[in-house]
Amino acid sequence: MLSSAQCSPSGPSEAAAAAATNATEAAGSAAKSQQAMWSIEFEKVSKSFGAHRVLVDVDLHVRPGEKVTLIGPSGSGKTTVLRLAMTLAKPTSGDIRVFGESIIFDSAGKPLSNSQEARIRRRCGMVFQQFNLFPHLTVLQNLILAPTTVLRQSREQAEKSALEYLRMVDLEDKVHAYPAQLSGGQQQRIAIARALILKPEILLLDEITSALDPELAGEVLDVVRGVAHELKVTLLIVTHEMRFAREVSDRIVVFDAGRIIEQGSPEKIFTNPESERTRAFLQSVLNH
């Protein structure tokens, strides 16, 4: 299912185009990102909505290519972590870095300008619980919107790579369908393709099966398994599917009340957790 993805759209012309767009920063940031140890770092990040503290002093460091799953009771702040990484929200305090570059401040410590933020943000992609496909556009139009507007690819080029990614999620027969004509599982697979077509180095998956019936969740998880296996993308996953988490993750991070209470290999977390609260949480979801 996934074999085509590797050989897919990294034509030399496109790389050249990408380099040309940020020619000035290219040299500096490339050097920086090569020595970056972490694909994404959270440093003492807190987030409050009014008096409600959603995240409290979170430190999290993810290696390039690492697959990390965040688990924990609902309302524990996992989704907020992803939204902060995607710059959909700004932290109240602390810093977040993507391949060594802050997505909050510039080098002088001032808030990033929109264009600077947009350039760094491009290295992240996100798939949402509610799919968030654009209902007024066909599947193909959904896929090529960002490549043509953000990466300024030609229409033909974008359509060609769209077809390759559709093949990867096994939905190439739905090119001209509208989202409302697809099942939830199919919609979510399209949403994954739509995120991957921009070739993000970090992919954020926010409860991508929570809105699906169990029998449809399977096909979506299959796609993610393929992505995890064959692409060198860093995965940051929030999910309630414990078996899936155990199977794809390199590391599990347990959240409770806005703090990381424990992290470690799936083996350790699922068989021999240190924290009593982790044990209680796992018991409640596994017996469910």
Stretch of residues binding another protein (CB under 8 A), selected from 29-37, 54-62, 132-140, 237-245: 132-140
Whole-angstrom distance, CA of residue 28 vs CA of residue 87: 22
Nearest Cα residue to 87 out of 67, 116, 129: 116
22 binds another protein (CB under 8 A): no
Stretch 223-262: interaction string toward another protein, x if CB under 8 A: ----------------------------------------
DSSP codes of every residue in 87-136: TSS--SEEEEEETTEESSB-TTSSBPPHHHHHHHHTTEEEE-TT----TT
179 binds another protein (CB under 8 A): yes
Minimum distance from CB of 151 to another protein (Å)? 8
Instruction: Give the residue with the Cβ less far from another protein, 47 or 251.
Output: 47
180 binds another protein (CB under 8 A): yes
- Start-end of H helices in the chain: 3-7, 12-21, 23-35, 78-85, 114-121, 139-149, 155-168, 184-196, 214-230, 242-248, 266-271, 276-286
**Which one of residues 21, 46, 48, 132 is an interface residue with another protein (CB under 8 A)?**
132
Instruction: Give the residue with the Cβ less far from another protein, 203 or 269.
Output: 203
DSSP codes of every residue in 217-243: HHHHHHHHHHHHHHS--EEEEE-S-HH
270 binds another protein (CB under 8 A): no
125 binds another protein (CB under 8 A): yes
Minimum distance from CB of 248 to another protein (Å)? 21
The answer to whether the beta carbons of residues 210 and 132 sit under 8 Å apart is: no
Stretch of residues binding another protein (CB under 8 A), selected from 10-18, 118-126, 163-171, 226-234: 118-126
178 binds another protein (CB under 8 A): yes
Stretch of residues binding another protein (CB under 8 A), selected from 13-21, 116-124, 234-242, 250-258: 116-124
**Which one of residues 140, 195, 231, 242 is an interface residue with another protein (CB under 8 A)?**
195
**Which one of residues 118, 280, 285, 286 is an interface residue with another protein (CB under 8 A)?**
118
Whole-angstrom distance, CA of residue 230 vs CA of residue 133: 25
Q: Residue 172: is it exposed, middle or buried by C-beta count within 10 angstroms (0-12/13-18/19+)? A: middle
Whole-angstrom distance, CA of residue 219 vs CA of residue 225: 10
Radius of gyration of the chain (CA): 19
In three-state secondary structure terms, 71 is: strand
**Which one of residues 149, 265, 275, 283 is an interface residue with another protein (CB under 8 A)?**
149
- Chain positions contacting another protein, by CB under 8 A: 86-88, 114, 118, 121-122, 124-126, 128, 130, 132-138, 145-146, 149-150, 178-181, 194-195, 198, 204
